[in-house]
Amino acid sequence: MPKIPVKLVEWNEIVEWSWGLARKIEESNYVPDVIIAIARGGYVPARLLCDFLGVENLISIQSQHWTEAAKKGERAIIKFEYVINLENARALLIDDIIDTGESVILARDYILNTWKPKELRIAALQWISPVAKIKPDYYYMEVKEWIWFQYPWTRLEDVTQFIKRIIEANYNEKKKSTWTLDEIVREFEEWYGIQVDNRYFNSAVNILVKKGIIKKINNELIYLLGKA
């Protein structure tokens, strides 16, 4: 598994980016009646935009494409379909980042065809312009080279999946099946160039143990072949 570029995003950055995005929306004179968060990444920026734009109505739609961190699923899907009437509403659809854009396109089309808002515009904190199939109406930051943004609300999930890949790759390439936590931390920092709190590593290991991917014996972690 190739190493990938990762940008560790902190909570204060999310607040600043959301403020900047809100100002752009205000400057366009678009006043949404309802904000729609794309679950799950759009929840936090959507709630912040409600606050910064003074919008009370917040709903969500789960359009999912990335099944694992930095590992694209086969196709985007709408989960938990439901119907509401937005015929008299101006809506703003928000996600954290638009990379391929497929999940946003799917959510947009579903909302327009099923919820039928008076108007729908799209916003995102980041837009990866070289690979995205759609340009949002509003974005705070244009990203010109692909990178995996590691947001605070997916930190444990991402750390768990990244550790799993490190263990699998080392077994496939070097037949290494036994690890200490310190070895995993060093390898993680080498692969991804970021440092996270040790609580995330400890919790990630516990999750992998519960899933039967590794076994913990004293201070050693054993990769269970055929379980990953």
Question: 77-89 pLDDT, tens per residue?
Answer: 888 889 999 999 9
pLDDT number for residue 4 = 85
pLDDT surpasses 70 at 2: no
Q: Give the whole-number percent of the chain exceeding pLDDT 90.
A: 85
For 149-158, give one letter per residue: b (16+ CB within 10 A) or e. Answer: bbbeebbbbb
In order of 3, 44, 122, 159, the CA distances from 34 in angstroms are 40, 15, 12, 34
Which of the four pLDDT bands, split at 50, 70 and 90, describes residue 218? confident
pLDDT number for residue 78 = 87
Instruction: Report the SS3 class of residue 94.
Output: strand
- Partners of 36 in the beta sheet? 59, 93
- The radius of gyration computed from the CA coordinates of the chain, to the nearest angstrom, equals 20
| The Cα angle at residue 201 between residues 185 and 167, in degrees rounded to 5 | 60
Residue 9 per-residue DSSP state: P
Reported as a single tens digit per residue, the pLDDT across 161-208 is 999 999 999 999 999 999 999 999 999 999 999 999 999 999 999 999
pLDDT number for residue 1 = 43
Q: Where are the beta strands (DSSP E) in the chain?
A: 6-8, 34-39, 57-68, 71-79, 90-98, 119-128, 138-143, 148-150, 178-179, 214-217, 220-223
Which domains are assigned to the chain? 6-150 (3.40.50.2020), 154-223 (1.10.10.10)
Residue 13 zone, left/alpha/beta (φ > 0; ψ -120 to 50; rest): alpha
